[in-house]
Amino acid sequence: MEATFNSIIAAAAPLIIASMGETITEKSGVINLSLEGSIRLSAMTAFAVAFWVGHALVGFVAAALVGAAIAAIIAYSSIGLKLNQIAVGFVLTLLAIDLASFLGDSFVGERGPRVPPLPIPFLSDIPFFGKVFFDQDLVVYFSFLTIAATWWFFYRTRPGLNIQGIGERPAAAFARGVNVNKLRFWYTVLGGAMVGIAGAAYSLDVKLGWRETLTLNLGWIALAMVIFGGWHPLRVALGAYMFGALQVLAFQLQDVFPGVSQVLPVAPFPLMILALVFVYSDWFSKLGDRFPRMRNLLGSEAPAGLGQVFERE
């Protein structure tokens, strides 16, 4: 039992990091649709670099740079050139996926460095919780940190309030003196760097090694998680852990019901659609009115300015 939970938490780490990154980007009003491509290309790069250098950390840095660079292209083309974010994101996805397959071909099957386990002294001795949460490695601890930091940033800081403003109504934020387009650019790059780190977490930690199917459509799932989570970091995280749990469950049930073993691995996807239907239902959307203190957590509305280009005049 402990081991199962421990592996759910560990396996969900890349998804958590990627969806926190995308949450930040989208909260500022930009959609980085290239997640699937970014993750694959950064996973491949991380592995290749770490393989050459012989050190996992360098791989992470390289992956963050790849993710940030792709995000910067999206940010520049949508903010600077006023191109359609969706179109650019989609093209970049396809490009990055192909690039990853092509450049990564020679690394398939190689063994590279990995992130070492790092149980936290004392904390990991706590019964059950210690084993589940604190007998992990740095990547997993980093995923915890992204959740807490994103939440704190959005709801407890001035820049965090401003980011919500530029995503919600850019003209209004601009009228208050917030530099909308500059911030949007940098939050998109920051989100992209986190997506890159998520890619590295796959090839250097969770799955080890590089092959094309390594990331299991994680990028698309992260995009869906942001929607399911109503752009709230805690709910996004909850969704990511639930998705991870379903995957582990499906995997374990394969032995129990061998007849349906083909179906189980895809079960989380239709369930995810049901979950989306649920959070967009009338009943759920009224919850926020009933518990005003939890309004942010229970709301499912996208930032109203999401995907909109802000032009001063």
Partner 1 sequence: MSLEIRDIYKHFGPVRASDGVSITIQEGSLHGILGENGAGKSTLMKILSGFYSADSGEVILNGDVLDLSSPADAIAAGIGMLHQDPLVFLPMTVLDNFALGSPGTVRLDRTEVRKELERVSSELGFEFDPSRLARSLTIGERQQLSITRLMWLGAKVLIFDEPTTGISATQRLQLFDTLRKLAEHGLIVLFVSHKLEEVEDLCDSVTVIRQGKVVYEAEMPVPAETLVEKMFGKVFVVQGREAVPLGQPVLRLANIDLKEDTTHLENLNLEVASGEVVGLAGLEGSGQRALLRACAGLLEPASGSLELDGVSLTKASYRGHLAAGVHYLPAGRLEEGLIEGISITEHLVLASDDSTFFIDWKAARKVAETEIEDYSIKGTPSSSAEDLSGGNQQRLLLSMIPDEVKLLLLEHPTRGLDVESAAYVWTRLLARRAEGTSVIFASADLDELLRYSDRIVVFFAGEVFAVRDASGTDGEELGYLIGGKERV
Site residues for partner 1 per CB under 8 A: 156-162, 164-165, 168-169, 171-179, 292, 295, 299, 301, 304, 312-313
Output 59 or 303, the one with its CB closest to partner 1: 303
Burial of 313 (0-12, 13-18, 19+ CB in 10 A): exposed
Output 67 or 233, the one with its CB closest to partner 1: 233
Least gap, CB of 285 to partner 1 (angstroms): 12
Half-sphere exposure of 12 (CA within 13 A, CB side): 29
Burial of 153 (0-12, 13-18, 19+ CB in 10 A): middle
- How many angstroms separate the CA atoms of 145 and 140, rounded? 9
Output 181 or 215, the one with its CB closest to partner 1: 181
Output 100 or 306, the one with its CB closest to partner 1: 306
Output 265 or 299, the one with its CB closest to partner 1: 299
Least gap, CB of 25 to partner 1 (angstroms): 19
Least gap, CB of 165 to partner 1 (angstroms): 5
Q: Which two tokens stand for residue 247?
A: 């995957």
**Beta pairing partners, 117:** 137
Stated length of the chain: 313
Q: Which amino acid is at 260?
A: V
Least gap, CB of 161 to partner 1 (angstroms): 5
Least gap, CB of 171 to partner 1 (angstroms): 6
